[in-house]
Amino acid sequence: MKQSDIDPVLNICRGARVQIMGKNFEPDWGLFNGAVGDVIEIVYNESQSPLDGSCPEYVIVDIPTYRGPPWMSDKPTWIPIPPIEMKCQKRCCSFKFIPLSLAYAKTGHTFQGQNVGPSHSIPCIIVHPGPKQMEQCCPGLLYMFASRPTTIGTPEDRSKSGLFFCSNDMNIERLSNLTTTKEGKLCVKIANRNKWITFLRNNLNPVNISEIQKKELIQWVKQTRVTHAQVQALIEDNKWRTSDTLNY
């Protein structure tokens, strides 16, 4: 097959906005579940193509949040995303896929830990918060949305905000009380959360340590030095892992 026969298929996907799906390759480098980027190229073996059902060798994605070692010196945010293999629960069969999905929208759960604003790779987010029942079923999720932007603009210019809502469900009345139903009853999940907090507070494990032990601990911290090589050796030691894959 000629390269010209394959190009039309690849052009459909070049430039697509995608996100890493269900895989934390290297979170400290910005390669985490939900990281967003743009497809640069889809690379196959010379004898394979998408037309015969082959899986790509890797997909080159431009991920602005990437801060790890550069794969290409002149393109430090271009990263090859290889296929991964997953086994079934009984580990008798497996399948291979590229851990990427179209990033036309994201759930709040996959957007945790990310910031948006003029100085970030994502300038703003548009949120559809759903009805009040959403917060009653997922306590704290609305706060997660509201805490992502680094700015909400100014009273004179709200267009520079990092957060916009696209639903009439978002109003002052809704925000005035997130813990009770229309009938004034405490939401079930809020009540359960309160019980759990009370349990934790009533079952604190007291730590009894003498002043001498405190001084010895502080002295140990001051004198102990761990080299970068020692830390790296601990990170690379995978004897404790139950699987040969990372965050999977």
Residues 120 and 76 in one domain: no
CA atoms within 13 A on the CB side of 245: 11
Average pLDDT per consecutive 10 residues, the chain (248 residues; last block may be shorter): 41 74 83 87 85 85 89 92 84 84 80 82 85 84 89 89 87 81 86 93 88 93 88 74 48
Is residue 225 in a domain? no
Domain count, the chain: 2
Q: What does the pLDDT read at residue 240?
A: 61
Task: Provide the strand spans (E) within the chain.
Answer: 17-20, 36-43, 58-62, 78-81, 84-87, 94-97, 100-102, 125-127, 163-165
Assigned domain for 216 exists: no
Look at residue 6 in the predicted model and tell me its pLDDT. 40
Q: What is the pLDDT of residue 242?
A: 56
Choosing from 78, 102, 126, the residue where a domain stops is 102
**Is the same domain home to 60 and 112?**
no
What is the reported pLDDT for 197? 94
Q: pLDDT value at position 11? A: 42
Cα distances (Å, whole numbers) of residue 217 to 57, 135, 214, 224: 51, 44, 5, 10
Residue 173: DSSP 8-state? H
Residue 122 lies in a domain: yes
Are residue 8 and residue 98 in the same domain, yes or no? yes
Exposed/middle/buried for 232, CB within 10 Å: 0-12, 13-18, 19+? Answer: exposed
Domain stops at, among 44, 76, 102: 102
Residue-range definition of the domain harbouring residue 92: 3-102
